[in-house]
Structure formats: C-alpha cells, structure tokens
Amino acid sequence: MIDNQPKKTKAYIAGVNLNDPNFDYYMTELANLTEANNMEVVGQSFQNAESIVAGTYFGVGKINEIKTMAKGLKAKVLVLNDELTPVQIRNLEKLTKMRVIDRTELILEIFASRARTKQAKLQVQLARLQYELPRLHPSENNLDQQRGGGFANRGAGESKLELNRRTIGKQISAIKKELKAVASQEEIKSARRNQSRLPKVALVGYTNAGKSTTMNGLLREFSKEAADKQVFVKNMLFATLDTSVRRIDLKDNFSFILSDTVGFISKLPHNLVESFKATLQETRDADLLINVVDASDPNMVQMIRTTQNVLDEIGVKGIPMITAYNKADKTDRNYPQIEGDDILYSAIDPKSIKLLADLITKRVFANYEKFDLILPLSAGKELAYLHDRAQVLREDYQDDGVHIEANIAPADQAKFKQYLA
C-alpha cells in the first residue's frame, strides 16, 4: 500500500504539575488532543513545581532541557497542558525557537477543523475571538498590514492596539447577532418538540464514548426512517459538534425524543462552553440523561468525573441519569446486563440496544398511569392524540363510544379524566 498521507507535524508535549493527582490523566488527554489535531506526539516531559513561573511557565533549566529533547526528536511544535498567558507563549517561542500552543488553542483548533454546520462554525469563531481579544499585543500589526495601513490615521491618537480591539469587538457582536438568529430558529424547532410532550432523553458523555453509535443503534431498531436519519460516527475526538434530535418509537406506542450532542473533555475552555450553550440546550431540557461511558478505557473513572464537571458547568442538575457502560465487547465481561440503574452494553450489538431501550422505557414511562376511557365517537381528535402520545393497549368501538385502555403520560392525564369509564 502506498502511503499518501502528508507527513504529520511532530509535536513535543509538556506541562507543569502543581501536585495534581490527575496530572498523568491530563497529559494522556493532551497527547490524544494533539493527535486529534493531526500532529504526531514524539516526546513529552513535565516539571513538578509549587507554582507556575509567571513569565515563562517553566523554569529556565526545564526550558533548556525541553529545547534539547525536542530538537533531537525534530519536533516543530511545543504543546502545553494549561492555558498560558500571551507573554508566556511569546517568551517560550523565543527561548525554544518552536511554535508554542496551549491546551485552549489546541482544543479551539480541533473544534474549528470539525465544525460543519453554520451554528457550530459561528460558535467556534466566537470562542476563538473571545480567546484572542485579551491577547492582542501592541507589536502585532496584522490588521494594519491587511488594510495597507490606510486605517492607521483614523481617530487621532487611536493606537493600532485599540483599533484591533475595536475591530474584534465588532466581529464578536456581529457573530453574537447571527448566532441569535440561528438559535431562535432552533428554539422554534425545540418549542415544537416541547409541545409534542413526548419525553426527552439526551445522550451525554466523554468524547468518543459512543453516543452517536448508540443513537444510530436505537434508530436502527426503533425508527421507521432509520436509513436517512443516522448520525455521523467516527473514531476521533469531537466527531459530533452539533445536536441531532430524533424521534424513537419503542413497542406499544412508547415514544420519546432522543438527542445526541457534542462530547466532553477535561478543562474545556470556558469560552467554548459558553459559546456552545445553545447546542447544549437539549441536554438541559431533558427528562432523562444517558451518560455514555467507554467501559474499555483504563481512564473510565476520570472520564465519568470529567462529564460530571462539564454538566455542572453548563448548569445541568437534578435530571435523572442512566450510566451506560459501552464498548463491553472490548472487555471480557458478560453483556448486555443491567446493574441497578445502569447498563453494561455494546452500541454495535442489537441485543444490547434492545435492553437499553427496556431500561429507558422503565425510567421514562414510570409515571404513566393506566386509564380506562370511553370516548364519544365524535372525539376523533382526542383519539388521534391518544394514538400518537399514549400507549394504547386496547381499543373497542361500541354503541356508547370508543372503549380504550391506555397508559397516559402525567402531562396528559388531566385532559382525559373527563372520559374515565
């Protein structure tokens, strides 16, 4: 086989450990993120310290060591485990003669390269501009160059830095406006789904855990239009950056709305989380969360903690949750199996998907109540409503009306009390 892949940029990764018990895990994530950004990790090192060196992040000795190591390994980029100040980045670039990127920049670059929809692109752009704004430096005249210097005279005494700030400020408000327009369309769609009163189930979890694969599995088993409704699945970090919403029809007319959204990772840049709030709306509105976990990953426990931290940050609390331990086929455990509120399964196994559906049914439809109703023959609309939203168990046309036995959602129970047999 001929390898046409362009050679990947070689990267050296490093960080300061301020006595953090999760440091190793963060470095593993950093390596994965670096690879996800199409670079090859050729080496790594860290420094144990009590505090960060204000001007240079590392101490001088460590910087020299990194420079020598990285040079020997032909690394062109130095990737750092924290968000650095602009001064730290500039100083490190001078001292190491390498391009230096911090963890935030790395995540922003991955998101930028993955964004496909207008909303995702705008959200990433917004996060990036907000990251850049406080980092503008008087010596950077790039705007000036773009405009051939013509703008430099504008507003006597206005420095290039102020001009740059003002321009970025304007871009930020323009993007916010556009995002609002996109979001309000989204809101309309979401309001319609709210009206439908079907229970809402949201897939959440660490990136690459198998959320989208789980959604596709449920669609394959329980949706009539599965073929064109499948969502994008790939073995990479942040394959999904949008929210997809689908209707799932389980047996006996138990239907719910399922959403799949962007995955999480540790230390997600705050601006990015802020920018993606609209995308994460479905998660906040859910009646039940399915926290998909990669049970075959040795870092599973930290990944669960990471997901919980991000959920806290986006303001998700008090929503019932099923922990769904996925990829059981890559472990030596028996699956599928239910363990209390949770499930061990494999999203690529139909039997597993059916068991997951059973578990969802049990949780979501727990408060449904069985009603014996007699609807007048003229109540065609109510009858259609029941068939759409309730679990109709028996239906019998008689002289005095339609006799119906149905499991009805809490929200609809008052509406049908008048027809009780």
Footprint of Mg ion (CB under 5 A): 211-212, 239-240
- Rounded to whole angstroms, what are the CA distances from 61 to 18, 24, 52, 87? 17, 22, 14, 19
By a kind-dependent CB cut-off of 5 to 8 A, residue 347 interacts, out of Mg ion, ligand GTP, none, with ligand GTP
In the list 230, 240, 281, 323, the residue contacting ligand GTP (rule: CB under 6 A) is: 240
Report, in Å, the least distance between residue 4 CB and ligand GTP: 22
Is 211 a binding residue for ligand GTP by CB under 6 A? The answer is yes
12 bridge partner residues: 43, 78
By a kind-dependent CB cut-off of 5 to 8 A, residue 246 interacts, out of Mg ion, ligand GTP, none, with none
> Which region, judged by CB under 6 A, interacts with ligand GTP, from 59-67, 206-214, 391-399, 403-411?
206-214
Give one DSSP letter per residue of 181-220, joined into a string: HHHHHHHHHHHHHHHTT--EEEEEEBTTSSHHHHHHHHHH
Is 210 a binding residue for ligand GTP by CB under 6 A? The answer is yes
Is 336 a binding residue for ligand GTP by CB under 6 A? The answer is no
Report, in Å, the least distance between residue 365 CB and ligand GTP: 25
Report, in Å, the least distance between residue 259 CB and Mg ion: 11
Helices 350-364 + 211-222 axis angle, to 10: 90
Alpha helical stretches, state H, 344-395: 350-364, 380-389
Is 233 a binding residue for ligand GTP by CB under 6 A? The answer is yes
By a kind-dependent CB cut-off of 5 to 8 A, residue 208 interacts, out of ligand GTP, Mg ion, none, with ligand GTP
Is 263 a binding residue for ligand GTP by CB under 6 A? The answer is yes
User: Tokens 């009390």 correspond to what residue?
Assistant: 417
How many beta carbons lie within 10 A of that of residue 206, not counting itself? Answer: 27
Listed in sequence order, the residues at least 6 apart from 410 whose beta carbon sits closer than 8 Å to its beta carbon are: 367, 368, 369
246 bridge partner residues: 258
Between 273 and 379, CB nearer to ligand GTP = 273
Encoded amino acid at 366, one letter: A
Is 279 a binding residue for ligand GTP by CB under 6 A? The answer is no
Between 54 and 227, CB nearer to ligand GTP = 227
For the four alpha carbons of 81, 87, 89 and 95, in that order, the dihedral sign comes to negative
**Quick one: how far is CA 62 from the chain centroid?**
35
> Which region, judged by CB under 6 A, interacts with ligand GTP, from 121-129, 235-243, 300-308, 373-381?
235-243
Query: Which x/- pattern over 337-356 shows residues binding ligand GTP (rule: CB under 6 A)?
Result: ---------xxx--------
- Measured CA to CA, the distance from residue 346 to residue 368 in angstroms comes to 29
Report, in Å, the least distance between residue 154 CB and ligand GTP: 45
How many beta carbons lie within 10 A of that of residue 230, not counting itself? Answer: 18
How many beta carbons lie within 10 A of that of residue 353, not counting itself? Answer: 23
Between 58 and 238, CB nearer to ligand GTP = 238
Report, in Å, the least distance between residue 28 CB and Mg ion: 20
Q: Which residues contact ligand GTP by CB under 6 A?
A: 207-213, 233-235, 237-240, 263, 292, 326-327, 329-330, 346-348
